[in-house]
Chain A
Amino acid sequence: AQSVTQLGSHVSVSEGALVLLRCNYSSSVPPYLFWYVQYPNQGLQLLLKYTTGATLVKGINGFEAEFKKSETSFHLTKPSAHMSDAAEYFCAVSERGNNDMRFGAGTRLTVKP
């Protein structure tokens, strides 16, 4: 079965600094990969996804992620953090044709003024 590991339960950056949230996955078949953001007491909102094609995917709010098969990674980046980016971020994986989606433990992003 597929699984996801997010390195770092808490990341703190200064406003304007680079954001890097790490995600590694395990999957026996080509994966679909996702990043979701969750604000307090809310559901999850999709930031971006990789299914096929271009390995660098761009999402909402200036985020992007690159699928690296050789490293089994799908790290999330944003060149310049904004205060409104403070939230919980979840990486998720599903195997193609599989109904199931598995989530990482989440990374809480704090943005300092």
Chain B
Amino acid sequence: DAKTTQPTSMDCAEGRAANLPCNHSTISGNEYVYWYRQIHSQGPQYIIHGLKNNETNEMASLIITEDRKSSTLILPHATLRDTAVYYCIVRSWGGSNYKLTFGKGTLLTVNP
């Protein structure tokens, strides 16, 4: 699976959009970009994933650049409950092990 690079930490004001970047310059054609988050030692929570098109669900939007070498997770109206470590994970679909390789992630702190 391709390696990802994320900023160590970011701050965001409550009610504003949080834009979390991820670099995955070595991504291959069959690899998807997944985002998970972990709120203070709770189990990681799936947020969204995509291949090459932008995706949106009830939690967030995922913008993937045309060359697929980077992506941005957007939380449109961040709340205090969105304070968490956000992980960008690149992996291929299927295979014999669905292991998720978590890096260090980005600690997003939403401030009142």
Partners in one complex: no
Residues of A within 8 A of B (CB): none
